[in-house]
Amino acid sequence: MRRRSGMLFHSNVPTICGARWDGPIAKVGAGCEFANIHNATTAYGNGTIPVLALVYPGTYSISSTAISGDIFIRGVGDPATIQFLFSDTGVGLKITGKHLSVVENIKLKHSYNWRSCFSPTGATGFTPLFIANKCIIDGSSTNLYPIRQEGNNPNLILRNIYLSRGYAHIFNYDLSKIRMQRCHLNNTLYTYNCTNSLAESDYVTASTIGYGPNYGEYFISGVDSL
């Protein structure tokens, strides 16, 4: 482990999408550097400095989180035990990305009516890519949208996701920007206030080998020994 310019770095080097990650790493959880994702992102300029956030098991009851920049969030453990629980009037986890952001191996859940769990957003003048992989995105408890676009219709890959809707699975999106790959939905895909058709539509509505968060490979790897 090493420090540079006040930032924490680690000697073991993980990879993101196959590329070596030499940036800062923030550990989130009980007994870690940061108690929640709010604190971790704030420490690195709320997206000004891209950071790899490793989130350990726990239920993180937090207000909706807005991150103004690229971020990489990786749950370490069973995604069902790593939960961001939102209960306010916001839009869950909102990331305003510029290039690439990855959210992997966690559970996102909102309990407030007519809100969303995950809200990918494109920064003005940019066409970012968001990847949500091996996650549980749970909007089933009330009239919720698991996925909600908040600006500029960024590209989105949903891979090996369990997507559970209360009202609609996806809200306010140009669906041609979304690739759904090996996903498990709680029922037939329903979208609201969306345009066009999915660029890729590979999903099931019943437990199927190869579909959902119990299957598939990680985009963020080499983190277990950090």
User: Phi and psi (nearest 5°) for 33?
Assistant: -60, -35
How many whole angstroms from its chain centre is CA 68? Answer: 14
* Structural domain boundaries in the chain: 50-217
Q: Is the pLDDT of residue 1 over 80?
A: no
Mode of pairing for the β-strands spanning 107-110 and 82-86: parallel
Contacts of 82 by beta carbon, 8 Å cutoff, 6+ apart: 55, 56, 57, 58, 75, 76, 105, 106, 107
Q: Taking 80 as the threshold, does the pLDDT of residue 146 lie above it? A: yes
Span 61-103, pLDDT tens digits = 888 888 999 999 999 999 999 999 988 888 899 999 999 999 9
* CB-CB neighbours of 195 under 10 Å: 12
pTM summary value: 0.92
**φ and ψ of 117, to 5 deg:** -95, -40
φ and ψ at residue 146, rounded to 5 degrees? -55, -40
For 162-204, how does the pLDDT look when each residue is reduced to its tens digit (9 = 90+)?
999 999 999 999 999 999 999 999 999 999 999 999 999 999 9
Distance CA 156, CA 178 (A): 5
Which of 90, 84, 197 has its CA nearest to residue 132? 84
